[in-house]
Amino acid sequence: MAVAATAVGPLRVGGLELSSPVLVAPMVGITDAPCRALCREFGAGLVSTEMVAAEAVVRSTDAALHLLDFPGDVAPVAAQLVGCDPAMMADAAQVCVERGAVLVDVNLGCPVPKVVSRGSGAALARDVSATARVVAAMVQAVAVPVTVKMRLGWDASTINAPELARALQDAGVAAVTVHGRTRCQKYEGTADWAEIARVKEAVGIPVFGSGDVEDVDTLARRIQSGVVDGVVIARGMLGNFWFVRQAVHRLATGSGLPDLDFADRIALARRHLDMLCAYHGETRALRIGRKYVAWTIRGCAGAARLRAEVQTMDTRDRLDALLDRALAAGPHPEGWFRPAFVSGEG
């Protein structure tokens, strides 16, 4: 179906006005400060930390505080917390705000055993009243908007997203993001946007949709037809941050932006590596950057061979040389490939 070329205006979440309804998802191991800076540069309405354990925030562990580092020139940034104790989540939310978060999001979707076994993430979402108590304590504790990110339910027979969203709206959340999969689906299968639409029908606060957001026409149609108020990009941008720019531009103007050509895509990967090195130092930056390089070069001829080498690259110079070889090989004759399935943690 053709998409009407209409622009979509700004969106309010509580007292916060977002410049675009296109958001970038919290992602463990991905949405660090350099990633957030690039996504904001490309116009994302809001970027987020990965999930951070409230308990670690309250104990002020170095790792948690590092995840809550908000370099001054990138805003607005949300912090996402995971936990299930109302007082601890409220205290942790205050720390997030003191450190610069303009919104605090609650993770109600994390499927991994070490989180759900503690009653957090997708396990908390099974208990509507317990979740409402957590959210209410946080809303009381901070002046910024509190939002949640949930899945459809625990499994196909226990879908509770509309009921949960309604209860959390009553508890004071300013918006909900719904990942259109159940906990038991983890990251497999396709996201169910008809179920996401049922949440939108159930509440009056903004609803953001998450799941397989990787095509500009589809995401524009979903927002313009009112299925959701906004969308959340996750795996769709891995190896291709430009997708954020294309989505934002499409919603803002109603017209499309072309894909980056292969040389520009490689140049963007190099710029991201520069940002990673400047922020994390070379050793850590390479650990993080290698996976981005592997995703970026999926589109080049002979990618499988080059990708096998990426993990052995132990200096920035060697990674650069590998990108030179990818550039020389040129794009794959059959075109760009999206990153292979990436299993999430959150």
Ligand X SMILES: Cc1cc2nc3c(=O)[nH]c(=O)nc-3n(C[C@H](O)[C@H](O)[C@H](O)COP(=O)(O)O)c2cc1C
Q: Is 50 in the site for ligand X (CB under 6 A)?
A: yes
d(C-alpha 233, C-alpha 24), whole Å: 5
Convert residues 77-106 into a mask of x (bound to ligand X by CB under 6 A) and - (unbound).
---x--------------------------
Part in contact with ligand X (CB under 6 A); list of ranges 19-27, 96-104, 287-295, 296-304: 19-27
Given the rule CB under 6 A, which of 23-31, 64-72, 135-143, 282-290 is the region that contacts ligand X? 23-31
Structure tokens at 118: 């503690």
Q: Tell me the C-alpha distance between 339 and 116, whole Å.
A: 27
Q: Which residues are catalytic?
A: 110
> What is the C-alpha separation between 48 and 326, in angstroms, rounded?
31
Q: Which of 137, 145, 111, 136 is nearest to 125 (CA)?
A: 111
Q: In terms of Cα–Cα distance, which of 230, 199, 226, 232 is closest to 214? A: 232
Q: What is the dihedral sign for C-alpha 98, 100, 105, 109?
A: negative
Burial (CB count within 10 angstroms: exposed 0-12, middle 13-18, buried 19+), residue 65: middle
Taking the complex as a whole, the smallest distance from the CB of residue 329 to ligand X amounts, in Å, to 27
Site for ligand X in 205-224 (CB under 6 A): 210-213
Judged by CB under 6 A, does residue 299 bind ligand X? no
Q: Which is nearer to ligand X, 320 or 345 (CB)?
A: 345
Residue from 109, 111, 230, 239 touching ligand X (CB under 6 A): that is 109
**CB nearer to ligand X: pick between 122 and 310:** 122
Would you count residue 149 as binding ligand X (CB under 6 A)? yes
Nearer to ligand X, 35 or 171 (CB): 35
The Cα 182–Cα 84 span in angstroms is 19
Residues that bind ligand X (CB under 6 A): 25-30, 50-51, 80, 107, 109, 149, 179, 187, 191, 210-213, 234-236, 342, 344-346
